Structure 1
Amino acid sequence: MRRGNTIFIAAYARLPKDIPAYALYNSVGVYAEVDVDTGVIVDADVSFYSQVSINMVKSILKGANIVYERGRIVEELEMRYWGGARKALITAVKRLFERFDEVMSLLEREATPDLTDDYRI
């Protein structure tokens, strides 16, 4: 897969105060490299302490389509991830979707030429 047409996006959500990870991070970060042509998440990471939880989240995100598989991603996290940061993780993933939409909108606007100066009468 060509990696030249990818973007990096990140999103965060506050962790609950009653879990050990809060002392280290205060929030959970979800990070993704996304192919802008296909919407496929090429790589992903999450700011958890446990490698097991990191690997699980990565396995759900990596290879998924951020445009067409949002519902499936959230559903799979809800069914499979039962750690103390569950709600924060799902919130951060939903914010990642929103951030992707924002970035794609900005990229589309930048790619659209402003023809107003070229067609003066």
Structure 2
Amino acid sequence: MFTGKTYFIAGHARLPQGMAARSIFDTLTITVEADAKYHVILEASCTLATDHGRDFIGQLLRGCSLQDGIEDLSRRIMDFYQGKAQNALMAALRDLHNQYLLYIQK
């Protein structure tokens, strides 16, 4: 049941050529559900082609606060995700953070 204590936000980026997910999607999307008070990511997912990849990105992002910026989130992706979608994940993360900044200005 939705309580109004969380919000959902998404960031998008173009996928590089030669990726399995590209046959399904032209863009990579990262989605997060975050706590409305402290902006901590409670759940995260993305449109990578495999369940394992989507789950791994969720684990990397979960527990971080969007109000702290994306430096820690970016570092986690750079350090622990070594795949063709790394640059697209970084771009989607930047877009997600921009959407977050628009959300908190409301």
Instruction: Flag whether TM exceeds 0.5 (same fold).
Output: yes
Which residue does the alignment assign to 1:28? 28
Which residue does the alignment assign to 1:64? 64
Secondary structure of the equivalent of 2:63?
coil
Q: Which runs of 5+ in 1 are unaligned?
A: 107-121
Corresponding residue pairs, total: 105
8 Å Cα contact 2:69/2:97 also seen in 1 = no
- Following superposition, the deviation at residue 69 of structure 1 comes to 5.2
Q: 2: CA distance between counterparts of 1:10 and 1:58?
A: 13
Secondary structure of the equivalent of 2:66?
coil
Q: Deviations over 1:2-53 (max 9, x none)?
A: 9522111111100012222111111101001111211101111111111121
Q: Which runs of 5+ in 2 are unaligned?
A: none
Q: Deviations over 1:80-119 (max 9, x none)?
A: 111111100111011111100101101xxxxxxxxxxxxx
Matches within 5 A, 1:1-121: 3-68=3-68, 70-106=70-106
TM-score (norm 2): 0.91
> Stretches of 4+ moved more than 4 A in 1?
none
TM-score (norm 1): 0.81
Q: Deviations over 1:35-82 (max 9, x none)?
A: 121110111111111112111100011111111152111011001111
- How large is the Cα RMSD of the aligned pairs? 1.5
Name which structure has the greater RCO, CA cutoff 8 Å, separation 6+.
2
